[in-house]
Amino acid sequence: MHGKVVVITGATSGIGQVTAERLAGMGARIVAVARDRARGEAALARLRERGPRPAHRAHYADLSSMAETKRVAAEIAAAEPRVDVLINNAGALFNTRQVTPEGLELTFALNHMSYFLMTRGLRERLLASAPARVVNTASGAHRRVGALDFDDLQMERGYRGLVAYSRSKLCNILYTRELARRLAGTGVTANSLHPGFVATRFGDASGGFFAYVVRAAKLISAISLEKGAEALVYLASSPDVATISGGYFYENHLAHPTRHAQDDTAAPRLWDLSDRLA
């Protein structure tokens, strides 16, 4: 990874932090996107310990805001002549329905639209750096839901936090498939992954009884951050996947998502809807 520039969202905690530090240790220069400046500065300090030579950098934005995501992507594009790897990793679960100032349900905005907008904003830098990679953190939680409900993507009816999260992860896989199709022949690949049930801060701030359930489950069955980050590091760096695109990975192997996640009618429809929202 020497000489490679890696842009990663959600790099200040959890598997994003571990991934950024590992890639820095392999020689990559990390461009982290963070919401909180104090956490971002702390992440930069850790990166400099792991990989002191490259000039790691942090940019700040609330990725649940489309305007903020567009701004930070434009800032990075202006500052970086090349982007070799983009890792879309930021995400969260919200137990109660919330709406962004732009009118989007918060889970959909952060977990899906930020992926769409970051990739669109950095597309030219990725193309200029080919061979390059886009890596999208999805989840096996997509198996909890059926087909996308295009009549109610914002979950105005019957909102449930875990269902909203699971739908957003289904969006991640469908989006990755369509992105890979549109990037075919450019030298830029796009893959998604299920990192496993990881002992991160995930769900801790979701509120209500669900937050207690998640904390208890993590004590019993969650894997370590280091284990959870393996697939991100693998997809970002391994020569074994250099020519694979449109795949969904689990434990460093191609896996089979649900049939709804392989719906090549729904994938371009989601893309077109996302493009209109953007």
Rounded Cα gap, residues 226 and 121, in angstroms = 30
What are 34's strand-pairing partners? 60
Q: Which two tokens stand for residue 82?
A: 């090349």
- The letter for the amino acid at 73 is A
Peptide linkage before 131 cis (omega within 30 of 0):
yes
Q: Which amino acid is at 14?
A: G
Which of 115, 165, 234, 248 is an active site residue?
165
Instruction: Give 226's contacts (C-beta < 8 A, 6+ positions apart).
Output: 18
Strands 248-250 and 253-254: antiparallel
Is 60 assigned a catalytic role? Answer: no
Residue 146: how many other CB atoms lie within 10 Å:
12
Residues taking part in catalysis: 165
